[in-house]
Amino acid sequence: MGFFGTYAYEHGSWKTLSEGELPPLAEPFLWIDIHDSDITSVVYAPAGPGAGVAYLGLTPRTYFENPNASDPTDVLREAAGLAAWWASQNSGGDVTAKQAELLAFLAEDEDPNAFEWDESENVDEIDDGEVFVEVKTRRFLAALDLPLPDGLS
């Protein structure tokens, strides 16, 4: 069984929520929902040029092998939206550099049948952030210059 956790960042601090709970939040906010160490859903507002929803690890469409599990992803758009969100929290900054940094964390829709295990790959050399989405989420939050919520540190 993987890691599950739901957290909301508003008014400068984190609160832990029930799994999948997205209550009304005051802008600016960032909500993260970690599902089974495989998907982190990120909902943020204001969305700026983004749609306000991004994923780390896998997208629901890929994970559940169902194109109706989530809207199609546009990682460039969401990286721009998240960089704008970051800039609003940090009195500006190099938004272009932040967008490029955040882009590396975001999940794109993939064909779930396209995964092939490389038998020659040394499993000891695989980065934990590529296996456990909670590790990637911690790194993502650090890139946003946010503290970690209790339970995720």
Q: What is the pLDDT of residues 27-53, one digit of tens each?
A: 999 999 999 989 999 999 999 999 999
Report the C-alpha gap between 88 and 107 in whole angstroms: 23
Full-model pTM = 0.88
Burial readout 66-95 (b: 16 or more C-beta within 10 A, e: otherwise)? eeeebeebbbebbbbbbbbbbbeeeeeeeb
Q: What is the pLDDT of residue 93?
A: 86
Is pLDDT larger for residue 124 or for residue 136? 136
Using the predicted structure, report yes or no on whether residue 57 has a pLDDT greater than 80.
yes
Q: What local confidence, expressed as pLDDT, does residue 118 receive?
A: 59
**Residue 86 corresponds to which tokens in the numbers above?**
């970051």
Residue pointed to by tokens 């704008």: 84
Task: Give tens-digit pLDDT for 82-133.
Answer: 999 999 998 878 999 999 999 999 999 987 666 555 566 655 555 544 558 9
